């Protein structure tokens, strides 16, 4: 998605130059949240200010939300139909392959030495022992500050000028968020708790959308029991059909637990912190990248997420009733993803096989 955004914003529309766009990608990779939708917001911010960031953000996320809402509604109505049961039995196998591929890709880009591997394994073991993943992440950040001493070199960034109007608009967004949370707190405590939960997941999801999977699974499946593991896997599978980030699974979770209102609140809450962070951190991107403690802490967090994703892969695998056909599908999907086959094609082929074979 980031490549498509670059083609449109830099080459076709000429909204940004190449260097400014690269700085935005670096920023979005350095802060928690889904990278693609943050990049879209960054392009809007650089080209049209805060209103542009908001417009880009909504425009990017709305189609995925609408489609996921429709799919969630159909899932509730028809998931017990035999053909649909076969469909999701197969797609759950594909979810294992997807998360396994994410673990491999995450590890390949993150691991630079034995310290990264040890930290990842420690995170996986702690989560397996029932530790809270948010505490694991904070511990990994502290470990990163202690373990890694070298400071990376960063290219100079184009400093963004911030005036009073910018600060007022950003403050207004924060006030709107606070007012929305207050309204939920006063009118529906369940929706308030759902909103706070999804915002917390987004705030800790360093490294992109897949980093939110172990956090969301822990809160929704393990801590609260709102969904079981297999239903949560179905939500991830549906999310891979939509043209949006994997965190759109929050729409599925919200709908199954609190209806349409829950879907809306859950989706807004999982994305709003990302928008606010892009707007708040863009003017100070150069300071953020050059911060020694931030670099070390982020390195530790990213290493821990490899471990968290490894644990999720194993937990999802245990939930699948394996047989030779499912094992073959999982291996084929994993190697297809390694070969950079579009994930949508992998899911669609698996869906056809599941309906007619399983």
Print pLDDT tens along the chain (358 aa). 787 788 888 888 989 988 888 888 878 877 888 888 999 999 999 999 999 999 999 999 999 999 999 999 999 998 888 888 888 888 889 989 988 998 998 888 888 888 889 999 999 999 888 888 888 888 998 998 888 765 555 444 445 556 788 888 889 999 999 999 999 999 999 999 999 999 999 998 887 778 888 899 999 998 999 999 889 999 998 887 777 788 899 999 999 999 999 999 999 999 999 899 999 888 877 676 677 787 788 888 888 888 988 998 998 898 888 889 999 999 999 999 999 888 888 888 888 888 887 7
Q: Is 213 within 8 Å of 312 (Cβ atoms)? A: yes
Residue 146 C-beta-side C-alpha neighbours within 13 Å: 8
pLDDT of 162: 64
This prediction has a pTM of 0.80
Domain spans in the chain, listed from the N-terminal domain onward: 2-152+161-357
pLDDT of 154: 47
SS3 358: coil
Alpha-helical segments (H) within the chain: 2-6, 18-30, 35-78, 82-110, 114-128, 133-147, 164-187, 189-204, 212-217, 229-241, 249-281, 285-290, 292-319, 324-338, 343-357
pLDDT of 177: 93
pLDDT of 286: 62
Tokens describing residue 208: 């992109």
What single string gives the DSSP state of each residue in 207-227? TSGGGHHHHHHIIIIIIS-SS
Q: Is 337 within 8 Å of 97 (Cβ atoms)? A: yes
User: At CB < 8 A and 24+ separation, what contacts does 193-196 make?
Assistant: 194/254, 194/257, 194/258, 194/262, 194/265, 194/266, 194/269, 195/265, 195/266, 195/268, 195/269, 196/269
Please list, in sequence order, all residues whose beta carbon lies within 8 angstroms of the beta carbon of residue 62, skipping any fewer than 6 positions away.
none
End-to-end CA distance of the chain: 32
SS3 150: coil
């Amino acid at each position: 998605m980031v490549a498509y955004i670059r083609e449109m914003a830099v080459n076709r529309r000429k909204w940004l130059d190449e260097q400014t766009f690269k700085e935005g990608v670096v920023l979005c990779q350095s802060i928690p949240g889904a990278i693609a939708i943050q990049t879209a917001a960054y392009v809007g911010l650089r080209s049209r200010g805060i209103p542009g960031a908001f417009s880009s953000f909504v425009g990017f996320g709305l189609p995925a939300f609408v489609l996921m809402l429709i799919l969630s509604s159909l899932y509730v109505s028809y998931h017990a139909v035999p053909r649909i049961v076969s469909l999701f039995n197969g797609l759950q196998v594909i979810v294992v392959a997807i998360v396994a591929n994410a673990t491999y890709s995450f590890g390949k880009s993150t691991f630079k030495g034995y310290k990264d591997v040890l930290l990842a394994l420690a995170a996986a073991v702690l989560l397996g022992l029932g530790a809270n993943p948010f505490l694991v992440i904070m511990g990994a950040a502290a470990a990163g500050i202690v373990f890694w001493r070298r400071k990376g070199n960063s290219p100079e960034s184009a400093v963004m000028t911030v005036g009073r109007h910018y600060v007022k608009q950003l403050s207004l967004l924060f006030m709107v968020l606070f007012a929305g949370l207050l309204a939920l707190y006063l009118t529906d405590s369940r929706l308030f708790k759902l909103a706070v939960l999804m915002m917390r997941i987004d705030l800790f999801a360093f490294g992109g959308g897949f980093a939110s999977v172990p956090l969301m699974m822990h809160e929704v499946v393990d801590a609260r029991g709102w969904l079981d593991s297999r239903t949560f896997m179905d939500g991830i599978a549906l999310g891979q059909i939509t043209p949006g980030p994997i965190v759109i699974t929050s729409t599925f979770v919200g709908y199954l637990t609190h209806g349409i209102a829950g879907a809306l609140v859950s989706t807004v809450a999982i994305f709003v912190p990302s928008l606010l962070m892009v707007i708040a951190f863009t003017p100070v991107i150069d300071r953020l990248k050059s911060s020694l403690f931030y670099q070390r802490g982020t390195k530790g967090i990213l290493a821990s997420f490899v471990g968290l994703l490894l644990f999720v892969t194993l937990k999802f695998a245990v939930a699948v009733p394996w047989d030779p056909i499912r094992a073959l599908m999982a291996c084929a999907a994993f190697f297809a993803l390694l070969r950079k086959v579009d994930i949508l094609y992998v899911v669609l082929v698996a869906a056809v096989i599941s309906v007619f074979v399983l």
